[in-house]
Amino acid sequence: VNVVESGGGLVQAGHSLRLSCAASGPTYRTYALTWFRQAPGKEHEFVAAISASGATTYYTDSVKGRFTISRDVAKNTVYLQLNSLKLEDTAVYYCAADEARSLGTTDWSDYDYWGQGTQVTVSS
């Protein structure tokens, strides 16, 4: 499975970004896809998850109401819309794929594949 993230950048606080995650593989539609982030000197932090069908989503508390995860099965892509960005959202954002579950967990170590990450920097 190949996972590629894109869409990061430098934005001012309060502004928005949309991240994309393209996942390819013979069983793409069964993958749980989840967004994590890692700030400098910190562990990978769960951000948002979406089920293989796209019907179920859940978020970490700090992003609820600001971030939205969605997926386009036809395009083999998962999106993360980041609105009302805050300084503390600055991190490298990773998309991770789990082929064993229909809905991913919040534990980075449960995932089998992930991309190279995309940097999101929020300035004041």
pLDDT digits (tens, 9 = 90+) for 10-56: 999 999 999 999 988 776 566 788 999 999 999 999 999 998 888 99
AA identity, residue 83:
N
Closest residue by Cα to residue 50 from 26, 67, 38, 25: 67
pLDDT band at 123 (very low <50, low <70, confident <90, very high): very high
pLDDT digits (tens, 9 = 90+) for 58-81: 999 999 999 999 998 878 789 999
Give the whole-angstrom CA distance, residue 4 versus residue 107: 20
Give the number of other Cβ atoms within 10 Å of residue 6's Cβ: 15
